[in-house]
Chain A
Amino acid sequence: MSELREITFVEALNEALHQEMERDPTIVVMGEDVGVYGGIFGVTKGLLERFGPDRVVDTPISETAFIGAGVGAAAAGLRPVVELMFVDFFGVCMDQIYNQAAKMRYMFGGKIKIPLTIRTTIGAGLSAAAQHSQTLYSIFAHVPGIKVIVPSTPYDAKGLLISAVRDDNPKIFFEHKLLYGVRGPVPKEPYAIPFGVADVKTEGSDVTIVAVAYMVHEALKASNELKKEGVSVEVIDPRTLVPFDKEAVFKSVRKTGRLVVVDEDYDRCGFASWVAALVADECFGYLDAPIKRVTTPTVPIPFSPTLEKEILPNAEKIVKTVKEVVKKV
């Protein structure tokens, strides 16, 4: 019987890495400050002590070299887990991700595999300003050949990271900074959560909310508020954007007739817009109200707390938006 303990999101990730590295000697971890420091957010703590410097490699600040080294090592038979400290830094190494890792299998006729996991952080709310606060998963979901994983709970974090490490494709695993301290029940043994299977966080009949990462928690808060006012909300966490569990969303919208997508990424051409388009295509006849998005307006993330709060999606904005669509009956 599985032992369930309450541990934090960061502890769940750390445990997943320890257990997988114990199981598979081809797994290596590399990135800036992942060794001695244990990762800037502590995700790789203890790995260097346990597995040594051959498997836990502190890299120079050369994202192109070490992300690319992850790709090359994966091509040559290892199973690297590489940390990109903040997703905002993808600008200095994107070629290795989207032109190399993502396309090699296809370009080379499906004869090879690139079992690479890139872990990175997303999310605003810490006044980290425009270059350390972005939630850039849409841009990776846009490019063919990269799986996009976005856990929202410690349970999902562990199970999805284990699946990621075992999967034979390039993946980006997004960790929201505000989730690291969140606690939740997590089995001690290793377990894998399949990609492309959404989690219905709470069932409801009036409106469907699709929310991602930290926004799942804001959506649940909003759902509780709305319940008091007699509005029944169904909250769906897709958990992975690529592959994406369309059917779970369609099924829910066919029941509720309304959809609000909550997404901390920039609004323009983002994930929320894509989900809205899919639902408009597939469920048009079922819709009782326009599809709404609660997203971050397409402006750089500002520093000052009052400005940052102004632009970020939150429970309050979700409640307001849900009320708009419910009113339209």
Chain B
Amino acid sequence: MLTQDKLLEMYYKMVLIRAFEDRVHELFVQGRIPGFVHLYAGEEAVAVGVTSHLRKGDYITSTHRGHGHCIAMGVDIKGMMAELFGRKSGTCRGKGGSMHIADFEVGMLGANGIVGAGGPLAVGAAFAAKYRGSGDVVVCFAGDGAQNQGAVLESLNAAAIWKLPLIFVVEDNQYAISLRSLSSTKLQPRISTARSVAERAVAFGIPSVTVDGMDVLAVYEAAKAAVERARAGEGPSLLDCKTYRYYGHFEGDPMVYRSVEEVEEWKKRDPIKLFRERLVRGGVVEEVLDDIRRKASLEVEEAVRFAEESPYPEPSEAYTDVFTDPYY
């Protein structure tokens, strides 16, 4: 049973992700952030619902759309924002940027610029967890697009044969850039009621479930079973979470492939709105939730200030950190 504190912490993480992403969107439009940025707004229930089960020693692998996973795992948002600004005080000292934020201390093994590449890394981290016998688990977040990468399919097989403590979380946000997931993944009509890569997992010998990815408590419940199974040494699972990204694939995406009506339709089931309604129905007073929202906004503003006041790295730092020794 979820305690009220835990529920409010989940709500806080969801609104913090949203506040962070909305602000990054503005900053990008204003030309204050360089590079490629992929925003997670709309998908908060997935990251938060799953990572709420994780503990120290567990790991996740992430994607190019990684800010939400970072925040859910507890990566400091000041460092993240400074990283997006390319500053020395960034999580990765300005060397990674949006697509490469990692913080192993909190179990975040890295966002990734290569679609599907987190799969094999997650297999390795789960192998290490199993080898140590620590009961630690690994979560591999990957989108619907990644499900057709060989790396992911090979990883499903490896996780299954080695019975690894690994949870594959599919974030089906309906589009691989512009290609609808309906068009990218053919499923067996015989068993398909809802189109789902969950059916593929079964073929690999991995139990799976399709989840409403806009409902954080539904994700939480599904993840609970998968994480418990992994911790008990019973092997991998797959959660296929149906969700939606509010912004384009990347900042600057003209979004010619979907209609405003479609976006509005999904926003009616906004994960934060849904969760807030549930909390209020459960007796949480609105003011408490408003305070949490205000706190998140202030933290994001503080992060922006921190980032903009931070210095850029010295040019000489381009040549360090290739290896553990100075050679490059």
Q: Which residues of A contact B (CB under 8 A)?
A: 28, 54-55, 57, 59-60, 62, 64-78, 80, 95-96, 99-100, 104-113, 144-145, 147, 167-169, 196, 242-243
A70 CA / B120 CA spacing, docked (Å): 8
Q: Number of contacts between A and B (CB, 8 Å)?
A: 148
Chain A residue contacts of B155, Cβ below 8 A:
65, 68
Among A75, A99, A242, contact of B113 (Cβ-Cβ < 8 Å): A99
Closest to B164 in A: A69
B321 touches A62 (CB 8 A): no
Number of interface residues of B (CB under 8 A): 47
Interface stretch, picked from B64-72, B123-131, B271-279, B302-310, is B123-131
Q: Is the CB of A68 within 8 A of B328?
A: no
Give 4 nearest A-B pairs by CB, closest first. Answer: A68-B120, A72-B124, A110-B321, A109-B92
Contact A59 B158 (CB under 8 A): yes
Nearest residue (CB) in B for A170 is B323
Can you list 30 A-B pairs with a CB-CB distance of less than 8 A? A28-B127, A55-B131, A60-B161, A64-B120, A68-B120, A68-B121, A69-B124, A72-B109, A72-B121, A72-B125, A72-B127, A73-B131, A75-B125, A76-B124, A77-B132, A95-B117, A95-B151, A96-B117, A99-B113, A99-B114, A104-B110, A105-B321, A108-B104, A109-B90, A109-B92, A109-B94, A111-B92, A145-B323, A168-B324, A169-B324
A64-B154, A100-B121, A168-B324 known, 17 other contacts, Cβ within 8 Å: A64-B151, A65-B157, A66-B158, A68-B151, A72-B120, A72-B122, A72-B123, A74-B124, A76-B109, A99-B113, A107-B102, A108-B100, A109-B91, A109-B321, A110-B321, A145-B322, A242-B327
Within 8 A of A (CB), among B247-269: none
Complex contact B59–A67 (CB within 8 A): no
Rounded to whole angstroms, the CA-CA distance of A109 and B127 in the bound complex is 25
A66→B161 CA distance, assembly (Å): 12
Docked Cα-Cα span, A99 to B96, in Å, equals: 13
Most buried by B among A54, A55, A67, A100: A100
B150 within 8 Å of A (CB atoms): yes
- A76/B125 in contact, CB under 8 A: yes
Question: Within B67-112, which residues are at the interface with A (CB < 8 Å)?
Answer: 90-96, 100, 102, 104, 109-110, 112
Q: Which residue of A lies closest to B57 (CB)?
A: A76
* Distance (whole angstroms) from the CB of A73 to the closest CB of chain B: 4
Q: Which chain B residues lie closer than 8 Å to A64 at the CB level?
A: 120, 150-151, 154
CA distance A260 to B125 in the complex (A): 45
Smallest CB-CB separation from A69: which chain B residue? B124
Interfacial chain A residues near B128, Cβ < 8 Å: 72-73, 76-78
Once bound together, how far apart are the Cα atoms of A74 and B121, in whole Å?
9
What is the bound-complex CA distance between A78 and B121, given in angstroms? 13
Separation of A106 and B93 alpha carbons in the complex (Å):
10
Contact for A76 among B112, B129, B322, CB less than 8 A: B129
Q: Is the CB of A105 within 8 A of B327?
A: no
Selected from B90, B124, B320, B324, the residue in CB contact (under 8 A) with A73 is B124
- Taking a contact as CB atoms under 8 Å apart, the answer to whether A144 and B328 are in contact is yes
A71 touching B121 by the CB < 8 A rule? yes
Contact B327 A196 (CB under 8 A): yes
* In the complex, B213 has a CB within 8 A of chain A: no
Complex: chain A residue closest to B93, CB-CB: A109
Chain B residues within an 8 Å CB radius of A74: 124
How far, in angstroms, from A196 to B112 measured CA to CA in the complex?
Answer: 31
What chain A residues lie within 8 Å of B110 (beta carbons)?
104, 107-108
Is B181 in the interface zone, CB < 8 Å from A? no
User: What residues of chain B lie closer than 8 Å to A104, measured between beta carbons?
Assistant: 102, 110
Interface status of B143 (Cβ within 8 A of chain A)? no
Cβ distance B124 to chain A, nearest Cβ, rounded Å: 2
CB contacts (< 8 Å) of B91 on chain A: these are: 109
Residues of B within 8 A of A71 (CB): 120-121, 124
Contacts of B119 in A (CB 8 A): 65, 68
B61 in the interface (beta carbon within 8 A)? yes
Residue of A nearest to B318 (CB): A106
A115 to chain B, nearest CB (A): 9
When the two chains form their complex, are residues B117 and A109 in contact, meaning their CB atoms are under 8 A apart?
no
Contacting pair B117 A68 (CB below 8 A): yes
A247 to chain B, nearest CB (A): 13
